[in-house]
Structure 1
Amino acid sequence: MDKHRDIGKYISTLQRLNNMFYANRLSSFQIGCGQQFFLLQIFNHPGMNLHELALNGNYDKATATRAVKKLEEEGYVRTETEEEDKRIRRIYLTDQAKPVVEKTQECVDEWAEIILEGLTGEERKEAERLLVRMADNAHRFNSRQKGKE
């Protein structure tokens, strides 16, 4: 049976190139690959809190907090403390974020076309299906490992 030793290398290569792509395309907005995911999540789920934001991307809360802080500094998001529970901060986009979101969504589409170039419609669906399955496998493994260290 093949050992598939290079699969991690290709996943890592894709991630590094993905980061470079977004950093380059979004540099005029003073954000890069580190914030674009969070920006789109807040756009798609206005009023979500930091915990929900972190969970949606399998990030730790500290990473989500840093990303939101950077987006706040750039004027793209604002937070509101909940009246009922002062520990919860809801996150919303500002009007200033609209062109950034539009450009980021364009970039998402462009990057998908770049990496899926030459694949048939069926191959594209299968590639996504397999990547989702691999991500789910990794997530389940990491969830089981928590507390075993």
Structure 2
Amino acid sequence: MNEHREIGKYISILQRLNNMYFANQLSFYQIGCGQQFFLLQIYKNPGMSLHELASFGHYDKATATRAVKKLEEEGYVLTEMAKEDKRLRRIYVTDKAAAVVEKTLESVAEWADIILKGFTKEERDAAEQMLIRMAYNASHHIMEQKGKE
């Protein structure tokens, strides 16, 4: 069991390097690595709510709120009151976001190529599937622990 005790260390290193890469790639657009995830999710899911956005990435509502606020300040997203429930706000990307979304999507593909350099197609697929399983396991464990509080 202990032979894999450093896997978290390498996940953490990858995350920090990921953040540095995206901060560098997106600095021209005045957004950091923290906002790129949120912008892409809003782009892929127009009209999603703040709660849906936060839940999708396993973020707390305050983090999602700060990210959306920053994106609004830069003119990349806008929020509108939902027609079905005036307490709910829907989030959409603006036309101004097109260039940053395109650059972000390119950067996502480039980053995958960088970190998977030398991997076969099968290894790339396997690595992705293993990370998905790890994320699921972690999420499931955290949810179980919340239920015990």
- TM-score normalised according to structure 2 size: 0.97
Query: Which residue of the partner structure matches residue 3 of structure 1?
Result: 3
Percent identity for Structure 1 against Structure 2: 70
Query: Which residue of the partner structure matches residue 27 of structure 2?
Result: 27
Q: CA RMSD in A?
A: 1.0
Question: Which moves more between the two structures, 71-80 or 138-147?
Answer: 138-147
Unaligned runs of 5+ in 1: none
Any idea what SS the aligned residue of 2:78 has? strand
Match runs of 1:1-149 below 5 Å: 1-149=1-149
Runs of 4+ in 1 over 3 A off after TM superposition: none
Map Cα deviations across residues 65-113 of structure 1 (whole Å, 9 max, x no partner).
1100000000000000113322100000110000000000000000000
- TM-score normalised according to structure 1 size: 0.97
Question: Which moves more between the two structures, 48-57 or 10-19?
Answer: 48-57
Quote how far apart the aligned CAs of 1:14 are: 0.1
Any idea what SS the aligned residue of 2:52 has? helix
Aligned-partner Cα distance in 2 for 1:58–1:83: 26
Quote how far apart the aligned CAs of 1:2 are: 4.1
Unaligned runs of 5+ in 2: none
Quote how far apart the aligned CAs of 1:5 are: 1.5
Any idea what SS the aligned residue of 1:59 has? coil
Quote how far apart the aligned CAs of 1:147 are: 4.5
Aligned-partner Cα distance in 2 for 1:50–1:77: 12
Aligned-partner Cα distance in 2 for 1:83–1:120: 48
Aligned-partner Cα distance in 2 for 1:124–1:147: 35
Which residue type is aligned with residue 66 of structure 1? R
Which residue type is aligned with residue 134 of structure 1? M
Map Cα deviations across residues 102-138 of structure 1 (whole Å, 9 max, x no partner).
0000000000000000000000000001000000000
